[in-house]
Amino acid sequence: MPLKGPAKVRRHYDEVAEIYDRRYAEGTGRSYHRHISDQVMNWLPPGGRLLDIGCGTGLFIEQYLERGGRGVGLDISPKMIERGRDRVPAADWVVGTGESLPFRDDSFDAVSSLLAFSYFKDPQGMLSEVYRVLRPGGRVALCTLGRNFLTAGLPAIHTLGELARVRQVGMGNFGERYYSEAEMSELFSGASFVDVRVKRCSFAHLNLARPVFQLARKIEPIVEQRLPYLAYNICATGRKPHP
């Protein structure tokens, strides 16, 4: 029987763990990942204890620790956790899912998630769990897939890639959800977060040919400020209020 849901996601990322860094830590992929990382990082308090959900190989945690913080990486893929532990031995690493966090209440100053939120079947439950483990005054920030005409055809492309057995990070039919700004705002507010902010980011995609990518990067700030609907990722943040 074909795998579905979390089991399918876990198997995929176990299989691509060895090539993951070639996608996001080199060339255009590095520039792309740094751009979305900066969007998320700028919303988080520096120097605290961070939980990164869907941490992959620890690229974001590595950046957070460089700014004086401490980090815990959580991922559904044991292979990703192995590579994260090798990359950032100073952090702590846990295999698990964001919809059932294995941590005590009020454990973290910050929670992040990059490009993993779209996989959650219960996004409201995930954000409620994040709220629980954040300390009062703590903040969550994440980047996920946004819904627009540029992303409308991606599920079909991913399905074809899966049928062709393309071995590439994220290439598969996982039933990801693509969000609007209004949906993200509603989810954060529904989980009792305050000071909720949502914005679109990313116009230069790492799959573009290098000359096209470089051109897209040059006009990316204009797109994000004046034509945000053309940006295909959504960044969102919220704060857990003090009692």
* Contact between residue 75 and residue 56 where contact means Cβ atoms under 8 Å apart: yes
Residue 45: how many CB atoms within 10 A of its CB? 14
Domains of the chain, by residue range, sit at 5-239
Mean pLDDT of 127-135: 98
Give the pLDDT confidence of 47-89 residue by residue, as tens digits.
999 999 999 999 999 999 999 999 999 999 999 999 999 999 9
Q: Which pLDDT score is estimated for 12? A: 81
Q: List Cβ neighbours of 78 (8 Å cut-off, separation of 6 or more).
A: 10, 14, 95
Give the pLDDT confidence of 162-180 residue by residue, as tens digits.
444 544 554 456 678 889 9
Q: What is the rounded distance in angstroms from the CA atom of residue 196 to the CA atom of residue 209?
A: 35
* Contact between residue 142 and residue 112 where contact means Cβ atoms under 8 Å apart: yes
Query: What is the CATH number assigned to the segment(s) 5-239?
Result: 3.40.50.150
Q: What is the rounded distance in angstroms from the CA atom of residue 138 to the CA atom of residue 109?
A: 5
Q: Which pLDDT score is estimated for 9? A: 84
Give the pLDDT confidence of 24-54 residue by residue, as tens digits.
888 888 999 999 999 999 999 999 999 999 9
Whether the per-residue pLDDT at 2 is higher than 50: the answer is no
Q: Which pLDDT score is estimated for 150? A: 64
